Structure 1
Amino acid sequence: MEKRIKIIITLFLSFLVLEGCSTQVKKIDLAISSDFSEKQLLSGTYILSFPVSNADLPEIDILELNDEMKLFLTSVNAKREGDKLDALVHKLQSQNFSIFYDADATLNAAQVFDQQRGNCMAFSTFVIAMSREIGVDTKFNEVFIPELRYLDNQQTFIYQHINVLATIDNRPQILDFNFTDYNPEYRQQILGDNEAFAKFYSNLAMEFLADRDFKKAFLYILKSLSLAPDEADLWNNMGAIYRSAGFEKQAISAYAIALRFDRKNLVTLSNLEKVLRAQGDFQMADTLSEKLYDYRKKDPYYWYGQALKAYRDELYELAANRVKDAISIKKEDHRFHFLLGMARLKSGTKGYKRSFQKALALSVGGKDQAQYRKKLKSLGIPELERARSRDHWRLTVIDGWWWLN
């Protein structure tokens, strides 16, 4: 179901931590035999049956502004750089501009404006194209959210989020869909345009793959790799395309290349484990499985992601157990405690008020706490004792606690 999102763009003001807390993965030494070279995998010989040239690759003007968009921007009046972004946001709001959130719609800026739909990548291209046109310094920002694993029979996909970083008067601001579960504590990194565009083409490749259009998927992942040839995630997606098209040995080689660029890439390790097991290499597959579990059991955000999934599936006791695993590793994240309170409440377990109080204590002074109190009020829970204030750096988080329903 598509969801209409009013473009009430939320601006987050704070010191932006681009490399937040994250558990490091120990280097895994693997002796994966690679039967195919990069040149062979990129040639097009196997899926397309002909050698690919640059002329065969797609070319999209990702930050395209059409005439209507340019006309719209002429009415955005502000002299100071610090006022221009506010003026743009106000103008969009005054025109009741809105967007359908469509996870499978990786569109360029002009298409977003015309169709008023798109995913987080499309939204970001739209905002960046519009803001740069009026002289605002904006960049793509990748956010690594808790690990939510989606299984598609053979392969694992992990959602990654893109939003926009604006720098106004030397202060960072984050622009995002107002429903997105963005949090500054997640690890983040600024992307150059080529890196972001590579992800744009890769998104489209995966959309074609979902439709089992292997030829287009391959051409779009080739375009992606032409922009960021050393990006492990792109080689992982190349492996996914090869495997889905029935070329498992080529897929193994693509995964091996991905791991050469990033030995810690969990998605690739997971996909490699599956294809090796399917090939009958149970010893290596078991080694990979053990290494992956060893990492995940030490990562609070893995357990948090599992808890969120269980909660969404109405498995409240399982959600409570998984989020307690997260808390045992990292006790100071208020989201963990609020989710535990919700899981306990839904499952009829005692102690939910204590969990809510802990979440409130850890979120003093921020919009998070206001959201928590609003939710508690909607549940008919009496006002909990206001926790003593504590020093806690924060970034205002947008509305959108989708998992609290």
Structure 2
Amino acid sequence: MSMERTRVRMLASIGWLGLLAIGVCACATPQLPEVSPATKRELVSGEALFGTEVAPADPIAIQNTSPEMERFLAPLFEIDSRRERLRQLVRHLAEVGLLNARYDERLTLSAAATLEAKAGNCLSYTNMFVTLARRLGLRARFQRVAVPPTWGIDGDLLIRSNHINAVVPNMRNTGLGQEFVMDFNYVAPESSHERWLVTDAHAFALMYANLSVDALMRGQQREAFAWLKRTLIEDPDNADHWVNLGVIYARAGATDLAEAAFTLAYRMTWRRQSAMAGLATLYRQTGDAERAHYYEEKIRRLRARDPFYHLAIGRAAYDKGAYEDALPSFRRAIQLRPRTGVFHFMKGLALLRLGDDKRGLRGLRMATRYGQVDDYALRYRSDLEEFLDVDADDPNARTIARVSSGFDLYERPGFAETRID
């Protein structure tokens, strides 16, 4: 079985743009405060922010089946072979359009709602597949994949997106290899990327965390807190969730509680970048320059080596029309990872916007050479088409048309057709 994949994202943790002002480290390792059980209880209460304790959001029926799901699966129940059952499930998903459905990164739905709406985000579609596969007796699991994170910016929030997929292990003697991976992603994760199975509680908590982040982006603080409280009930050991709690407190000016939440996150995992980002920004805002310098320098070193972080900063400038400001970020991303097409693509667009057709076209050619940029071509389709909408006798116009033909501009975003060999 081979699949065309479409790029998807999952909201995971929040930072602040204030962290972009980096200082120089000039201090020894600062001591973080101890977080007592009483302080931890106060953190998850919400009373300090809202005057009364915030009840957790009601759980949603994440994997409950519906009559529509049963009808969808009915033709598959009589198949004896696990291999054929799995193959026919994927084929059936393609036939009804669920592998070419609407992708909405802010739409987190249960399995039944995703099937009914034919819409959702990465986590929604992955959960739908896991639910359907399990209903057919297949041992489907959630799997996290350590792909380089993508970054997005929304107001004063810096949002890091990660990746999750579904795996059906122990598929020996099925013709599908040791395991079957269902990945709703345009670009298949590289085999070198670390991956690990996660519990249902971990995956469900990520869904609730998505709902919390979405509420925060809408300015609904109490709703965001309620969803995050539900998140922590499901999975209290994921440091990202405590970082998000720290951001909520910090934005409300509750600095002591924000520090406590970031400290808990920092001590939970060696993947401390988000927690350090929160501490750095918090200390900078409260005037603790020495501690701020320490964490800012650690963050600077980490982010300086992250090409996708530079891509996000460049895109934020580009989307505001600051094309000159965007170029250094795209160039730095290329220096760090020269064979990644999206960096050349964005650099090429910025140069075209600045009137440098020769170097802009060179950037687009490099993007087509390295590939895996169709999702960006779709996102910036109007930009490309603007350059195509010029005098057809202009040699530059013809060159741009030839280069742009390397991008899939006219397929709408969504899951591509699945081929079953």
Q: Which TM-score applies when normalising by structure 2?
A: 0.70
Corresponding position of 2:164: 162
Corresponding position of 2:21: none
Partner AA of 2:338 in structure 1: K
Counterpart contact for 1:164–1:175, Cα < 8 Å: yes
- The sequence identity of aligned pairs, in percent, is 24
Higher RCO structure, 1 or 2 (CA under 8 Å, sep 6+): 2
Q: Counterparts of 1:94 and 1:314 in 2: how far apart (Å)?
A: 41
**1:198-230 CA distances to partner (integer Å, 9 max, x unpaired)?**
111222233343455544433432332233222
Q: Aligned with 1:160: secondary structure? A: strand
Q: Aligned with 2:48: secondary structure? A: coil
Partner AA of 1:243 in structure 2: A
Counterpart contact for 1:33–1:253, Cα < 8 Å: yes
Partner AA of 2:96 in structure 1: Q
Q: Aligned with 1:135: secondary structure? A: coil
Give, in angstroms, the shift of residue 265 of structure 1.
2.7
Q: Counterparts of 1:400 and 1:380 in 2: how far apart (Å)?
A: 24
Give, in angstroms, the shift of residue 65 of structure 1.
0.9
> Are the structure 2 counterparts of residues 186 and 346 from structure 1 closer, same or farther at C-alpha, using a change threshold of 3 Å?
farther
Give, in angstroms, the shift of residue 51 of structure 1.
6.8
Give, in angstroms, the shift of residue 112 of structure 1.
1.7
Q: Counterparts of 2:343 and 2:233 in 1: how far apart (Å)?
A: 40
Counterpart contact for 2:101–2:119, Cα < 8 Å: yes
Corresponding position of 2:287: 280
Give, in angstroms, the shift of residue 186 of structure 1.
9.1
Tell me if 1:295 matches 2:299: no
Equivalent of residue 151 in structure 2, options 130, 145, 148 = 148
Tell me if 1:102 matches 2:110: no
**1:310-356 CA distances to partner (integer Å, 9 max, x unpaired)?**
44444444444322212222333344334433433443323345445
Corresponding position of 2:22: none
Alignment of 1:6-405 (within 5 A): 10=3, 29-34=29-34, 37-43=39-45, 45-47=47-49, 58-76=58-76, 78-97=79-98, 99-143=101-145, 144-150=147-153, 152-153=155-156, 155-167=157-169, 168-176=176-184, 183-184=189-190, 187=193, 189-190=195-196, 191-349=198-356, 350-362=358-370, 380-381=398-399
Partner AA of 1:330 in structure 2: R
**1:43-70 CA distances to partner (integer Å, 9 max, x unpaired)?**
55535666789xx663333111112211
Q: Which runs of 5+ in 2 are unaligned?
A: 6-27, 170-175, 389-396, 404-410, 415-421
> Are the structure 2 counterparts of residues 341 and 165 from structure 1 closer, same or farther at C-alpha, using a change threshold of 3 Å?
farther
Counterpart contact for 1:199–1:224, Cα < 8 Å: yes
Partner AA of 1:82 in structure 2: R
Give, in angstroms, the shift of residue 102 of structure 1.
3.2
> Are the structure 2 counterparts of residues 43 and 352 from structure 1 closer, same or farther at C-alpha, using a change threshold of 3 Å?
closer
Q: Which runs of 5+ in 1 are unaligned?
A: 1-8, 13-27, 385-398
Give, in angstroms, the shift of residue 10 of structure 1.
4.2
Partner AA of 2:359 in structure 1: G
Q: Counterparts of 1:334 and 1:93 in 2: how far apart (Å)?
A: 28
**1:346-373 CA distances to partner (integer Å, 9 max, x unpaired)?**
433233454455445545xxx769x99x
Q: Aligned with 1:169: secondary structure? A: coil
Counterpart contact for 2:167–2:179, Cα < 8 Å: no
Counterpart contact for 1:106–1:204, Cα < 8 Å: yes
Q: Counterparts of 1:246 and 1:285 in 2: how far apart (Å)?
A: 17
**RMSD of aligned Cα (Å):** 3.9
Q: Which TM-score applies when normalising by structure 1?
A: 0.72
Counterpart contact for 1:145–1:186, Cα < 8 Å: no
> Are the structure 2 counterparts of residues 341 and 215 from structure 1 closer, same or farther at C-alpha, using a change threshold of 3 Å?
closer
> Are the structure 2 counterparts of residues 225 and 71 from structure 1 closer, same or farther at C-alpha, using a change threshold of 3 Å?
same
Counterpart contact for 1:63–1:110, Cα < 8 Å: yes
Partner AA of 2:164 in structure 1: I
Q: Counterparts of 1:44 and 1:333 in 2: how far apart (Å)?
A: 44
> Are the structure 2 counterparts of residues 48 and 401 from structure 1 closer, same or farther at C-alpha, using a change threshold of 3 Å?
closer
Counterpart contact for 1:141–1:164, Cα < 8 Å: yes
Partner AA of 1:209 in structure 2: L
> Are the structure 2 counterparts of residues 34 and 242 from structure 1 closer, same or farther at C-alpha, using a change threshold of 3 Å?
farther
Instruction: Out of 256-265 and 161-170, give the one that drifted further.
Output: 161-170
> Are the structure 2 counterparts of residues 257 and 175 from structure 1 closer, same or farther at C-alpha, using a change threshold of 3 Å?
same
Partner AA of 1:70 in structure 2: E
Q: Counterparts of 1:345 and 1:86 in 2: how far apart (Å)?
A: 45
How many residue pairs align between the two structures?
Answer: 355
Q: Aligned with 1:148: secondary structure? A: strand
Q: Counterparts of 1:246 and 1:343 in 2: how far apart (Å)?
A: 38
Q: Counterparts of 1:347 and 1:164 in 2: how far apart (Å)?
A: 43
> Are the structure 2 counterparts of residues 243 and 130 from structure 1 closer, same or farther at C-alpha, using a change threshold of 3 Å?
same
Q: Counterparts of 1:198 and 1:185 in 2: how far apart (Å)?
A: 26
Give, in angstroms, the shift of residue 257 of structure 1.
0.7
Instruction: Out of 28-37 and 196-205, give the one that drifted further.
Output: 28-37
Q: Counterparts of 2:206 and 2:250 in 1: how far apart (Å)?
A: 20
Q: Counterparts of 1:133 and 1:148 in 2: how far apart (Å)?
A: 35
> Are the structure 2 counterparts of residues 322 and 400 from structure 1 closer, same or farther at C-alpha, using a change threshold of 3 Å?
farther
> Are the structure 2 counterparts of residues 317 and 280 from structure 1 closer, same or farther at C-alpha, using a change threshold of 3 Å?
closer
Counterpart contact for 1:35–1:250, Cα < 8 Å: no
